[in-house]
A and B are shown apart, each in its own frame.
Chain A
């Protein structure tokens, strides 16, 4: 019995995936469990921790800065996801046509994705500098501005949206381009023969065939948007006046600037639950509407 089990494909299969399982377990599962334990402690990361049960979560509910950070995270996500996914679809359709230099344009669109976010941040710091920056100079030439961008509490979050859309849209474009190549020519031809115009073809043939891709991009972008951090860390540091303190930035502030490790872990868990619920809802809605050929 044992011998048969040992010889079966299960064992060799497990052996093949073992390195990956061990790595994911060590750097994925263990921190998740440890984070849950941490969220039930008062832990300054320096001295021995103290058990506080659900106190961290109770404090969170009444913390006005946390509530504001949740609000900002949602506003950011609601702007970032539709703009980047919708914009990417438009750009992909433009680039999918036979035009001169299309390879050049495709490369150009993708370059920001390959650029490190730190470099992107430093460049935008100078571009959007209110007094000496290029953006205000150019807008000034046509009679607009000057704007405060990262230094104006009312504009900072929107400036971050603009910067991150620029930085990440290339990825969505490439995925959409690949999907557009997969749209069967004969379906488009058939629709044309039936007298469908360009918009009708897009609306009734192309867009439904792209729906699995759209679903993937929406879920993936949402998860990323909820966790936005790097770009804020290198530009506004959560400011001015906490205008860009999103959930992960507040988590960072609590954990590594104020040394409230347990409290920060509780924030991480709330974020985790938000992400989980949103993803499940998106997939559930998506699966009822997505067309898999």
Chain B
């Protein structure tokens, strides 16, 4: 019996060691840090190039960037990694998860570092970005991306239909009428596209409409749902009319087909962000701020780099990397490489900034549109449940399975009970 124990124990230790061996640590005075991201294609190449630039200029630190796949499911992967003690030093996470990740003891609160190191120039980040990483007194990440939704349209399809291009004072009615005219069932051409999978992708486009009509997601102290207000019903009715009466909306099932279809001239208008522009290589597109109701508000979806605690040397190295990577100069390089909006305000004042707006037609409008991003989604741990309830309601309306008021009321009821139980 004793013998067996002496055999099993080393084996278990070996297994445990193999399981926890996830890179990192330091050797020869070089600190190795790992960065997880979900960048593909152009952006994937850009981050590899950035890591190389950093490693070439920082001999004491070695950065390894790893792609974790679809960023939609990054939080699960990071949480699983934390459980197994194999978390990265830095991970790209969506802004909507800030409140969740802030509850994990493994995530580093950056507030003290930001306070003691003025060289980060924290106030230089856009206000929407700083709002998104602020969870109570904690600052849970460094801004990685700022974007917003604008109206991207295919100029050729507008010309063919004899419709003037969208203006910055377009109303919902103007928009709806144009979408209808730009729809042609015989050639399978649609005026607009909407992601109708019920995910956050479905919800945030609705949020913009809700705010334009004067509504809000929750009340001011986040205790009760408010999206089923008359403003919410008005926004959902616009979606219902366009999807089920005009049939002018291509309903994307969440697999991103809309971008390919827009690029092949099958869809005339999109509510989308600057991240899609680099894939629209085959069409001559224009960018305009969103059509409006009471106002022309948009929604901003700032994402962040979250740091995980792997010891003070690792933390210091990760901080050095993030400071370097989000500096105005690197931020401009990133924007030039990928088309993403500059994450710092001062980047727009650099001499080479005009090269960026020239290279990516339309991004100028997105930068201006940051001024229309007045409201933010609630930064609370139950946000995912709120999003899921709203997503189901909007999907039901788009598919013609429920009436706007009825769908939003039942979602609001679910949200109220989630907010009341606080979990």
Contacts and interface: CB of A to CB of B under 8 A. Distances in A.
B199 interface: yes
A132 B265 CA distance: 13
A240 B198 contact: yes
B396 interface: yes
A198 to B, nearest CB: 47
Contacts of B76: 256-257
Contacts of A253: 388
Q: How many B residues touch the partner, as a band?
A: 35 or more
Interface string B79-112: 1000100000000000000001101110000000
A18 B103 contact: no
A258 B7 contact: no
Interface string A113-138: 00000000010010001011000000
A236 interface: yes
B395 A125 contact: no
Contacts of A42: 423
Nearest to A19: B11
Contact of A46 (B11, B79, B395): B79
A257 B94 CA distance: 13
B399 interface: yes
Interface stretch (B143-151, B217-225, B246-254): B246-254
A258 B79 contact: no
Interface in B136-195: 188
Nearest to B11: A22
A46 B392 contact: no
Contacts of A44: 103, 381, 423
Nearest to A131: B188
B401 interface: yes
A150 interface: yes
A15 interface: yes
A239 B197 contact: yes
Nearest to B14: A22
Interface string A253-282: 100111110000000000000000000000
A227 interface: no
Given A240-B198, A241-B396, A18 B7 contact: yes
B15 A22 contact: yes
Nearest to B385: A258
A35 interface: no
Interface in A1-60: 6, 11, 14-15, 18-19, 22-23, 26, 42, 44-47
A213 interface: no
B189 to A, nearest CB: 10
Given A18-B11, A153-B399, 20 more contacts: A6-B3, A14-B4, A18-B8, A22-B11, A44-B381, A47-B104, A47-B105, A125-B253, A129-B257, A151-B253, A151-B399, A236-B253, A239-B197, A240-B197, A240-B253, A241-B198, A241-B401, A256-B73, A259-B79, A259-B100
The 8 closest A-B pairs by CB, nearest first: A256-B76, A46-B104, A46-B103, A47-B103, A151-B253, A22-B11, A239-B198, A125-B255
27 contacts: A6-B3, A14-B4, A18-B7, A44-B381, A46-B100, A46-B101, A47-B105, A122-B255, A131-B250, A132-B266, A150-B253, A151-B196, A151-B251, A236-B253, A237-B199, A237-B254, A239-B197, A239-B198, A240-B197, A240-B198, A240-B395, A240-B399, A241-B392, A256-B79, A257-B388, A258-B384, A259-B100
Interface of B: 3-4, 7-8, 11-12, 15, 73, 75-76, 79, 83, 100-101, 103-105, 188, 196-199, 250-251, 253-255, 257, 261, 266, 381, 384-385, 388, 392, 395-396, 399, 401, 423
